[in-house]
Amino acid sequence: MDRYNPQEIEKKWQKIWEKEQTFKAAEGDDNLPKNQKTPKVFLAEMFPYPSGAGLHVGHVRNFTIVDVLARFYTQQQMNVLRPFGYDTFGLPAENYAIKTGISPQSATETNINNFRKQLKRLGYAIDWSREINTSDPEYYRWTQWCFLQLYKEGLAYRKESYQWWCPVDQTVLANEQVENGHCWRCGTEVEKKKMKQWFFKITDYADELLADIDSLDWPDKIKTMQRNWIGRSEGAEIDFEVEGAGTMIKVFTTRPDTIFGATFLVLAPEHPLVSKLVTDATREKVDQYRTETLKKSEIERQENKEKTGVFTGSYAINPGTGEKMPIWVSDYVLMGYGEGAIMAVPAHDERDYEFAQKFDLPIKQVIEKPEGSTDDSECYHGEGELINSGHFNGTRTEDAREQIVSWLEGQGIGKQKVTYRMRDWLISRQRYWGCPIPIAYDEDGNEYPIPEDQLPVIIPEVEDYKPDNSGRSALAKAEDWLHFDMEVEDKKTGKKVVKHLTRETDTLDGYACSSWYLWRYVSPHDNKSAWDKNAISYWAPTDIYVGADHAVAHLLYIRFWCKFFADQGLLPFREPVKTLLYNGYINAPDGKKMSKSKGNVIDPLDVIDQGYGADTLRTYEMFIGPYDMDAAWDPKSVGGVYRFLNRCWNLVFGRVEGQSDSDDTLRLRHQTIKRVTDDIHRHNFNTAVSAMMEYVNELYKTGAEKDDLITLAKLLKPFAPHLACEMLEKLGSDDVWPVWEEKYLVSSTAELVVQVNGKLRAKIQVNVEDLEDQEKIEKLALAEKNVQNFTKNGIKKVIYVKKAKLLNLVAA
RNA sequence: GGCCGAGUGGCGGAAUUGGUAUACGCGUUCGACUUAAAAUCGAAUGGAAUCUUCCAUACGGGUUCAAGUCCCGUCUCGGCUACCA
């Protein structure tokens, strides 16, 4: 008998799959009526950033989940689309280029080639004819096209905004390049700098993005995070009159019921009205405070939660009480949320209370705690009855919210308002290695979108990848690219004129490139459109999407684009992903995160080359634990899985003819089919492997029928495809997924469990038909000596659960 | 501080709807084969008592004939979020 040699058989089958293009998806049979179409499944992992380090074990877990499902559905005769792609724009390639001078284009190509080679060694069932790469001009041409569609509808716009800025490197920094308030490269403390930036107006879709979360088959964890991120809150917008100035200050509050307790107003330092509210006496102090706050890094603001602020010198009038309310400026009020101004109710809001204490401002109770309330905090923010609130006294706070808003509305100074925590999506990146924004400007700063037929705007190669001193990316150094002539419509006359324009040097956030890639998979070589209309309606939306990251960002952006393109009539669905599987991380054997610096990284290719092979690696990563939980790598357990695969091999290649089928062998076979099938449907990959292990253990004891071996090989194929193919070849079988039959699952005898007071006292073998006869069952149970011992004083009650084959006697 | 998870043998974990807790794997121990080792095969393996019980699913209560599972409270760990009015 030959020994199980993964190196040899894996190479053999990988060659065959390569040659036969085994995993090429069938083109959609879109001409057939819906009910005659082959059922389809579109599966994908979150495509990786191909780093120079190659695949890690986390990738393998993620990709193997997709692979198990893809192969499982293929064996079930479904039409499966399982493509692959690379998310290649981003900082690592750019930094590498700055350091080494090797262009990101060429470094990316090298890394992709390495990734592809490694993926093939894992035996993934990928349709290689659909490989995509976001930095390929044929791909980002269509990313730019997507941008232009959003631009046309007014959903891509420019606005002044603050950006992290390193004064030493003279460059803009992305959030992830700011470490504890300092530049990651030179360690200088960063500042905020006001710059004109591009945004996508995701807030237009806030309501729908929130409402549709309910309908998604996604993990609750992700759904909750998205709800919190969108952060819808209902409240009121109220205008406060500034005393003697004739201006109004708009405020957002979720507690309009507490308006009689509002004793002062607070404005964010950036609030545009602040400069109008200051007096000669306060101007200097206020200006100083504003400058200081702007300089503060986020870290400082987090560390130092002590309230700070200054008085503007002006007063507003409380529309309820008619009393004067001093107007303050403080950084605990954020310009980006609500109106950037609040009415402070120190008696019933902790932050306002703290501020009032510090600056000695009046505190006025307007809610009476309900009797028996155990809440003894200084400021009560629960519900209760209103007091000190004019003619609203005695009203419940829950009811008062609406009543007070309509009362304010009657005076024209208030209305219901919904506010979101989510802001518009900032997409400008002052980086070289990203998708160029297809916009140009004339000398007056007017925007001109690049016409669709002139896309893509190609990234020019440059000598030096360092950003320049203007806060612009290295793209600004490509003079020939930067300035160009284009025929445009003159903004004033409407006539066609040729203008000398300057290109936008910001590139798009990488998340823009990944916001539509799932749709590109359906027609990756289409050079007439971003996605083919027929192909998209056959394949999309994605049925199962698997990943371990991007709970809010990517997974929210992709939903936003989907809704937008659905509104443009370009997609026939409003949610891009039906089922989302969010897999856990794999940690080092010591339970800590794997990292190069700790030297505890497990390289999946090493595991293969040690002699275990890809099948062991794949099967082990499915067996390691529930797919959605973090797990620690255990080298010893890898050996256990290898032993299991060896036993599978030995059953087939060292086989002695077994006896013919008996009831017991049939039952075992069909039970195993059912368990593995159900487990894969439920994504319980670890217990699916366990079920196969139990099957093999039994076959070792009882001897295996040929049908057992065929069944085993078919069930094993999604996990260990090379070995399974070798087994099936030897057995002369196809790989069609087996179906269990109920009739084989039943047995003529059953084990009856007898409990007394819920405790196990006896197990009795009974005939299945006797289970129907409760009297007989009770008699059999009472015949047991041990049952008699515990029921000497008689029996009070009998509970018989036929389904569980369980009898519980309650002793007197 | 807020929200969301999790806590079961020496270890990773199983238990689908409340119904036999500890499947499967690792480790450990013993045995077979071998000159020997490895590999392989077989057996045992929650704890205590010793032939049949008692105690065990983080801790304390509760509901139930029956709780790892449901309810209330406490503790520990992990993740996300962070002055969002």
How many angstroms separate the CA atoms of A310 and A307, rounded?
Answer: 10
C-alpha distance from residue A172 to each of A185, A239, A473, A701 (Å): 12, 38, 9, 68
Measured CA A699 to C1' B41 distance, in angstroms = 14
Q: Which residue do the tokens 């004109």 mark? A: A196
Measured CA A764 to C1' B23 distance, in angstroms = 21
Measured CA A428 to C1' B36 distance, in angstroms = 71
Measured CA A620 to C1' B36 distance, in angstroms = 33
Q: What is the pLDDT of residue A654?
A: 81
Q: What is the pLDDT of residue A182?
A: 67
Q: What is the pLDDT of residue A25?
A: 86
C-alpha distance from residue A494 to each of A439, A502, A703 (Å): 19, 20, 87
- Compute chain A's Rg from CA coordinates: 34
Answer with the residue of higher pLDDT: A166 or A454. A454
A518: Cβ contacts below 8 Å, ≥ 6 apart:
A44, A540, A542, A545, A558, A576, A577
Mean pLDDT, residues A247-268 taken together: 94
Measured CA A226 to C1' B60 distance, in angstroms = 36
How many angstroms separate the CA atoms of A84 and A132, rounded?
Answer: 7
Q: Taking Cα atoms as reference points, which of A751, A653, A749, A670 lies closest to residue A708?
A: A670
**φ and ψ at A326, to 5 degrees?**
-65, 145
Strand, helix or coil for residue A489: strand
Q: What is the pLDDT of residue A173?
A: 67
Element (H, E) at A510: helix A510-513
Shortest CA to C1' contact from A701: nucleotide: B42
Measured CA A722 to C1' B26 distance, in angstroms = 25
Shortest CA to C1' contact from A591: nucleotide: B12
Answer with the residue of higher pLDDT: A478 or A295. A478
Whether the pLDDT of residue A372 is over 80: the answer is no
Q: What is the pLDDT of residue A38?
A: 75
How many angstroms separate the CA atoms of A413 and A573, rounded?
Answer: 42
**Is A418 within 8 Å of A234 (Cβ atoms)?**
yes
Tell me the CA end-to-end span of chain A in Å, nearest whole number.
65
Structure-block tokens of residue A464: 């030096």
Measured CA A647 to C1' B39 distance, in angstroms = 13
Measured CA A586 to C1' B57 distance, in angstroms = 25
Percent of residues, chain A, with pLDDT higher than 70: 93
Q: What is the pLDDT of residue A508?
A: 93
Whether the pLDDT of residue A412 is over 70: the answer is yes
pLDDT band, very low/low/confident/very high, at A370 (cuts 50, 70, 90): confident
Between vectors from CA A278 to CA A276 and to CA A284, what angle results, nearest 5°? 125
**Is A426 within 8 Å of A199 (Cβ atoms)?**
yes
DSSP code at position A98: H
Measured CA A758 to C1' B62 distance, in angstroms = 18
* Nucleotides of B strand lying within 7 Å of any protein CB atom: 3-5, 11-16, 19-21, 23-27, 39-43, 52-54, 65-67, 78, 80-85
Shortest CA to C1' contact from A304: nucleotide: B83
Strand stretches in A1-143, DSSP E:
40-45, 79-81, 85-86, 132-133
Strand stretches in A379-536, DSSP E:
385-386, 414-420, 425-426, 428-429, 435-436, 439-441, 447-449, 483-489, 496-503, 507-508
Shortest CA to C1' contact from A330: nucleotide: B83
Residue A693, judged by CB atoms within 10 A of its CB (0-12, 13-18, 19+), counts as middle
Q: What is the pLDDT of residue A168?
A: 73
Query: If you measure CA to C1', which residue is closest to nucleotide B26?
Result: A637
Q: Which residue do the tokens 């309509």 mark? A: A406
Length of chain A: 812
Query: If you measure CA to C1', which residue is closest to nucleotide B82?
Result: A302
**Is A757 within 8 Å of A797 (Cβ atoms)?**
no
**Is A415 within 8 Å of A192 (Cβ atoms)?**
no
pTM listed for this prediction: 0.92
**φ and ψ at A744, to 5 degrees?**
-85, -10
How many angstroms separate the CA atoms of A163 and A436, rounded?
Answer: 19
pLDDT band, very low/low/confident/very high, at A521 (cuts 50, 70, 90): very high
Measured CA A631 to C1' B8 distance, in angstroms = 17
**Is A133 within 8 Å of A110 (Cβ atoms)?**
no
Shortest CA to C1' contact from A691: nucleotide: B24
Strand stretches in A358-413, DSSP E:
367-368, 385-386
Measured CA A50 to C1' B85 distance, in angstroms = 44
How many angstroms separate the CA atoms of A621 and A614, rounded?
Answer: 11
How many angstroms separate the CA atoms of A47 and A133, rounded?
Answer: 10
Query: If you measure CA to C1', which residue is closest to nucleotide B6?
Result: A629
Strand stretches in A550-593, DSSP E:
577-582, 586-587
Measured CA A735 to C1' B69 distance, in angstroms = 39
- One-letter amino acid for residue A205 of the chain: Y
**φ and ψ at A170, to 5 degrees?**
55, 50
Shortest CA to C1' contact from A640: nucleotide: B25
Residue A514, judged by CB atoms within 10 A of its CB (0-12, 13-18, 19+), counts as buried
In this predicted model, what pLDDT tens digit does every residue of A269-306 receive, in sequence order?
989 999 999 999 999 999 999 888 876 644 455 555 78
Q: What is the pLDDT of residue A164?
A: 73
Shortest CA to C1' contact from A641: nucleotide: B25
H-assigned helices in A592-662? 604-607, 613-623, 635-653
Q: Taking Cα atoms as reference points, which of A520, A513, A550, A548 lies closest to residue A629?
A: A548
Mean pLDDT, residues A99-127 taken together: 95
Measured CA A110 to C1' B31 distance, in angstroms = 56
Answer with the residue of higher pLDDT: A467 or A607. A607
Whether the pLDDT of residue A561 is over 60: the answer is yes
Measured CA A553 to C1' B18 distance, in angstroms = 40
Measured CA A138 to C1' B45 distance, in angstroms = 62
Strand, helix or coil for residue A329: strand
Query: If you measure CA to C1', which residue is closest to nucleotide B53?
Result: A761
Q: Which residue do the tokens 């080494």 mark? A: A100
H-assigned helices in A626-684? 635-653, 663-681
pLDDT band, very low/low/confident/very high, at A777 (cuts 50, 70, 90): confident
Shortest CA to C1' contact from A301: nucleotide: B83
Shortest CA to C1' contact from A700: nucleotide: B41
Shortest CA to C1' contact from A551: nucleotide: B80
Shortest CA to C1' contact from A674: nucleotide: B16
Least confident stretch, A130-139, A500-509, A771-780: A771-780
Q: What is the pLDDT of residue A787?
A: 85
Least confident stretch, A41-50, A395-404, A558-567: A395-404
In this predicted model, what pLDDT tens digit does every residue of A727-742 receive, in sequence order?
999 999 999 999 999 8
Q: What is the pLDDT of residue A45?
A: 95
Q: What is the pLDDT of residue A204?
A: 93
| Helix axes A91-100 and A104-121, enclosed angle (nearest 10) | 120
Query: If you measure CA to C1', which residue is closest to nucleotide B80?
Result: A225
Question: How many other CB atoms sit within 10 Å of the CB of residue A355?
Answer: 22
DSSP code at position A583: P
A388: Cβ contacts below 8 Å, ≥ 6 apart:
A260, A261, A364, A365, A366
